């Protein structure tokens, strides 16, 4: 029965005829779809494959492949502390997993070796990266939240601070910030009822400043439990300076100097005292793909630029390095793709589903060496796909390995359909853009059009994969 169904579908060219699942999408939506066999020349679906679309976080597949090809599995970020003359120097490399505990251990090792004293100044070396800390095309209105934390050489605590906001019976709100975060948050937001919020269309708003000060205003619907907040650190250098000063006091290190950004003015030869290394590239990529971690993706992009061009890494040379690496080492030509970052967060990114399908096929063909497929989330079971509405139930649950991506008006997916033995047998790309369904006036729950489309498309993927 499966074979008959597959043969019937294969006789239809979806490049010329309407593809049924698309009927669920609202008018005005644009779509580019690919579904093809990994083992035969069969194309199940090909629609608008040469048009440019925002890839969103599916771009992380491209970044991951470039990192594997250029940096290799032994790559890791390193943070080291040196003595240079009378100064202490901490050299950063953009480690997106670096925490204050790691810096504390480096300072402790330094103080142990030098009689618990730093005689000169402390320098925080940020020269591994250069250029913008945020890519061109990152919207201004999301820069205060942690998924758009700046990509910097001096990265600490994921460039993210956690807090929480409470509603109060007197109509005001209050904010709690753990003491170890050197940031300031003020709230002028009001507590309102749900009906009051709807009547006034008043939302919670955040204003940030370059000195790591945050101001909340607007309204918050009354709630019994606090609302968790995650603030993107606006000035990672200042933040790290403040954290290092906290740790100096905590460790009771004798220190009367200053904490500066850059390299020491004296030209004495630096003496390595201690180093911290991040986990190696496979573990970084596993987290990046399963959790869709933007900071790892963008710091890796800058690291790629630095490694490929032998200079300080940036968004500009990092994204160009990705194109050159794929061309020279994988014969994948994505020269027409517009890349502004490696995470997919920029609204300026554009690529075709044909480009993405080339990347997917290369990853599958060389998976014994790359090992990237195992790092992908599983539909309805792991990573960013665990709770996706269209994937939580049979027959879709557990039958797709893919990377999701979403931006304003874009809902994307790229990955593999599994056969009856649980192995990839097809690749697919879903780029849906300009998706803006009509808002409903009542609160009656409905299945969103994108969910209806995805369920229909993913069912076709599974049927095709298991009969291919």
Q: Where does 107-210 show beta strands of DSSP type E?
A: 117-118, 122-125, 160-167, 173-176, 184-187, 190-192, 204-208
What sign has the CA pseudo-torsion 420, 423, 428, 430? positive
Identify the burial level of 159 via C-beta atoms within 10 angstroms of its C-beta, where 0-12 means exposed, 13-18 middle and 19 or more buried.
Answer: buried
Question: Among 332, 333, 336, 331, which Cα is nearest to 351's?
Answer: 336
31, 93, 111, 292: the catalytic one is 292
The phi, psi pair for 409, rounded to 5°, reads 80, 5
Active site residue 91: no
Q: Which residues pair with 366 in a beta bridge?
A: none
- Residue 425 half-sphere exposure toward CB, CA atoms < 13 A: 17
Question: What span, in angstroms and rounded, lies between the C-alpha atoms of 361 and 77?
Answer: 29
Query: β-strand 173-176 against 160-167: which pairing, if any?
Result: antiparallel
Task: Decide: helix, strand or coil at residue 201.
Answer: coil
Question: Among 221, 208, 214, 239, which Cα is nearest to 163's?
Answer: 214
DSSP string, 437-463: PPPPSS------HHHHHHHHHHHHHHH
The phi, psi pair for 365, rounded to 5°, reads -60, -35
What is each CA distance from 266 to 1, 86, 115, 241, in whole angstroms?
77, 9, 22, 20
Take residue 123 and report the two structure tokens written for it: 């320098």
Identify the burial level of 442 via C-beta atoms within 10 angstroms of its C-beta, where 0-12 means exposed, 13-18 middle and 19 or more buried.
Answer: exposed
What sign has the CA pseudo-torsion 118, 123, 124, 125? negative
Active site residue 292: yes
Active site residue 57: yes
Take residue 164 and report the two structure tokens written for it: 């929480």
29, 31, 46, 60: the catalytic one is 60
Catalytic site positions: 57, 60, 292
């Amino acid at each position: 029965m499966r074979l008959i169904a597959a043969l019937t579908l294969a006789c239809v060219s979806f490049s010329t005829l309407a593809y049924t699942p698309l009927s669920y999408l609202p008018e005005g939506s644009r779509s580019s779809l690919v579904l093809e066999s990994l083992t035969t020349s069969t194309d199940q679906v090909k629609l608008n494959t040469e048009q440019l679309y925002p890839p969103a976080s599916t771009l992380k597949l491209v970044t991951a492949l470039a990192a594997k090809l250029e940096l290799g599995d032994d790559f890791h970020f390193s943070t080291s502390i040196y003595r240079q003359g009378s100064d202490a120097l901490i050299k950063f490399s953009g480690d997106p997993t670096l925490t204050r505990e790691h810096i504390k251990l480096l300072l402790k090792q330094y103080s142990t070796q030098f009689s618990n004293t730093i005689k000169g100044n402390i320098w925080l070396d940020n020269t591994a990266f250069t250029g913008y800390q945020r890519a061109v095309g990152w919207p201004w209105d999301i820069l205060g939240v942690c998924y758009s934390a700046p990509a910097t050489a001096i990265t600490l605590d994921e460039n993210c601070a956690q807090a929480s906001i409470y509603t109060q019976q007197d109509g005001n709100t209050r904010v709690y910030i753990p003491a170890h975060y050197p940031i300031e948050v003020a709230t002028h937001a009001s507590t309102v009822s749900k009906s009051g919020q709807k009547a006034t269309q008043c939302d919670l708003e955040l204003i940030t400043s370059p000195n790591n000060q945050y101001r909340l205003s607007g309204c918050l619907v009354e709630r019994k439990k606090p609302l968790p907040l995650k603030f993107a650190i606006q000035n990672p250098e200042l933040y790290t300076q403040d954290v290092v000063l906290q740790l100096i006091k905590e460790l009771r290190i004798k220190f009367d100097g200053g904490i500066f950004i850059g390299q020491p003015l004296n030209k004495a030869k630096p003496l390595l005292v201690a180093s911290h290394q991040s986990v190696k590239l496979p573990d970084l990529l596993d987290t990046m793909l399963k959790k869709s971690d933007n900071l790892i993706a963008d710091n890796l992009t800058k690291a790629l630029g630095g490694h490929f061009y032998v200079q300080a890494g940036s968004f500009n040379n990092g994204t160009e390095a990705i194109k050159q690496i794929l061309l020279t080492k994988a014969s994948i030509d994505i020269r027409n793709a517009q890349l502004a970052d490696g995470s997919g967060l920029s609204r300026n990114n554009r690529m075709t589903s044909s480009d993405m399908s080339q990347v997917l096929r290369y990853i599958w063909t060389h998976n014994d060496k790359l090992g990237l497929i195992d790092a992908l989330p599983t539909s309805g079971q792991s990573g960013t796909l665990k709770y996706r509405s269209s994937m939580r139930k049979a027959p879709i649950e557990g039958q797709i390995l893919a990377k999701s991506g979403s931006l304003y008006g874009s809902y994307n997916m790229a990955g593999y359909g599994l056969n009856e033995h649980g192995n990839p047998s097809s690749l697919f790309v879903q780029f849906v853009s300009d998706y803006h369904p009509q808002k409903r006036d009542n609160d009656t729950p409905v299945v969103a059009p994108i969910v209806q489309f995805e369920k229909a498309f993913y069912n076709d993927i599974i049927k095709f994969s298991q009969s291919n």
